[in-house]
Amino acid sequence: MERTWKDWQDTGAYRRLQELAKRPYDLTAPDALSKGGRLAEYICRTDIFSLHYATQRVDDQVLDGLQELADECGLVRQFAEMRRGAVMNRIAGLESENRQVLHTACRDIFSDEPVEPVASGQAKREIEKLETFLQELEKGKLCNEQGEAFTTMIHIGIGGSDLGPRSIFEALASFGQQEREVYFVSNVDPDAAAAVLGQVDLRRTLVNVVSKSGATLETLANERFIRRALIEADLDPSRHCLAVTGEGSPMDNPGKYLRSFHMYDYVGGRYSATSMVGGVMLGFYLGFEPVMDFLRGASLIDSGAENPLLRENIPLLLAMLGVWNHNFLGSATLAVLPYSQALHRFPAHLQQCDMESNGKSVTRAGRAVSTKTGPVLWGEPGTNGQHAFYQLLHQGTEIVPIEFIGFRRSQYTLDIEIEGTSSQQKLLANLLAQSVALAIGQKNDNPNRDFPGNRPNSILLADRLTPATMGALLALYEAKIVFQGFLWDINSFDQEGVQLGKALAGRFLRHMKGKKEQADTLETSILQEARLL
């Protein structure tokens, strides 16, 4: 695509923001949070989520500057071009993947006039295939050798074919259909597959093998592992195994599988959870309609992300607040802390999505970047984290910006009231308390008990974690990551660092082939390969 954006450091907004960053808003000053109706004003409300950001070190001047920066760099325009099929996965003048980026098409299926008709049409066809498959399971047309229904699924996949789907499964576990269970195998560690095999009744199990390339060592090894177990149990793997893979990949072999589903090369692995990569497993577990709700939530965010107004566009706002903290105020990491046990694997998915996308040092023009790109991202659910690493967040020497995620209502109706409040209220109260305490701090003459404050954070709040909310949350972070990549002018859609790992493992394995004495082999192979690198 034609280069229509400015280098972000060559903008007037960049220089102004650099000046403003010398005196960022002081959250510890008296009335800092309530001044000028700040608490009520610094909220961005959309259909599903609201973002509360009064506890960030920004004021109107900074927000205006961030808006100008986003405008000058054409972030929303680039997002819209991406959704309409521009070839964005590329580095100009260098060999690169050279592809469109159309994960948004997986949920661009609810309008009669989708923004990218070809890709949305392909997505629709896969969804129809999924619906038929689920109906056949439901009606008993697809069943095991004994005529019994399948109750269990083993989802095999790694990286993008595992982290997104698994974190969504965990998030929505409370919405599962009766008599349906799902297990995951990702690591090539034999104990992982063995442990799952020890828990399932293979006769009633579907094995969902998910690999875009159809060539990933871990996934193929785990597929063989489970297929061997099926054969040993006198079961026919082609009646139990499903494939989700790229069109034309080595796994695109319908004769080998009960059903095959496709994803397309314009959907990157870490952005693939709303394709059949997540769809087959979620459909089996939740049923068809909840999957549609999940996609609808994601689609709402994609459309909203085309709003050019920073204060009304949550992913853009989160992206620019992130840039403010990371590039202008100098924070190296970002913590995402969900106050929801169901989201306990979500930071792991974000770690991949953010760090694999924006952990880059070369611009889209193939030159070395001259500013910091993606931060180190990490996180764990609260309140558990409060009893662990929050010490550093409050009093450490490293300032860690935080994105809290919370919900007004719980997923299950079961709760308990103790001393006038429910557990859900206690959870939310803790979130709010942490957000305020980190921002305003607390003076104490004893330096060891002094809390300096000015620790920037925001709260992403929704009513309840449902399939639609989860779809929205996923798409919201995808869009945020993409906006930041556009600003830093990097390609957020390739992953050469991951490819290197895949190639290296193959070289080391050649040394180990047929040898049982691992210790000796390890040393010689490290020496030999280090010489070749």
Residues with active-site annotation? 356, 387, 502
- Between 97 and 131, whose beta carbon lies closer to ligand G6Q? 97
Min dist. Cβ of residue 247 to ligand G6Q (A)? 13
- Between 277 and 342, whose beta carbon lies closer to ligand G6Q? 277
Tokens in use for 58? Answer: 């920004």
CA distance 17 to 321: 12
Q: Are 411 and 465 in contact (CB under 8 A)?
A: yes
For helices 467-488 and 314-323, give the axis angle rounded to 10 degrees: 40
- Binding residues for ligand G6Q (CB under 6 A): 158-161, 211-213, 216, 219, 268-270, 356, 495, 498
Q: Are 379 and 350 in contact (CB under 8 A)?
A: yes
- Between 27 and 277, whose beta carbon lies closer to ligand G6Q? 277
- Between 219 and 454, whose beta carbon lies closer to ligand G6Q? 219
- Between 211 and 299, whose beta carbon lies closer to ligand G6Q? 211
Exposure letters 25-39 (e unless 16+ CB within 10 A, then b): bebbeeebbeeeebe
Min dist. Cβ of residue 348 to ligand G6Q (A)? 12
**Angle, alpha carbons 12-315-392 (nearest 5°):** 90
Min dist. Cβ of residue 91 to ligand G6Q (A)? 16
DSSP letter at 397? Answer: S
Min dist. Cβ of residue 211 to ligand G6Q (A)? 3
Please count the other Cβ atoms lying within 10 Å of the Cβ belonging to residue 453. Answer: 20
Q: Are 69 and 17 in contact (CB under 8 A)?
A: yes
Min dist. Cβ of residue 150 to ligand G6Q (A)? 23
Q: Are 253 and 245 in contact (CB under 8 A)?
A: no
Q: Are 146 and 197 in contact (CB under 8 A)?
A: no
Min dist. Cβ of residue 269 to ligand G6Q (A)? 2
**Which residue sits closest to ligand G6Q, CB atoms considered?**
159
Q: Which residues contact 255 (CB under 8 A, 6 or more apart)?
A: 238
- Between 140 and 497, whose beta carbon lies closer to ligand G6Q? 497
CA distance 326 to 320: 10
Nearest of 389, 358, 366 to residue 484 by alpha carbon: 358
Positions of E strands within 166-282: 181-185, 205-211, 241-246, 259-263
CA distance 511 to 18: 53
- Between 222 and 331, whose beta carbon lies closer to ligand G6Q? 222
| Secondary structure of residue 301 in the 3-state scheme | helix
Min dist. Cβ of residue 87 to ligand G6Q (A)? 17
Residue position matching structure tokens 């060539």: 215
DSSP letter at 338? Answer: E
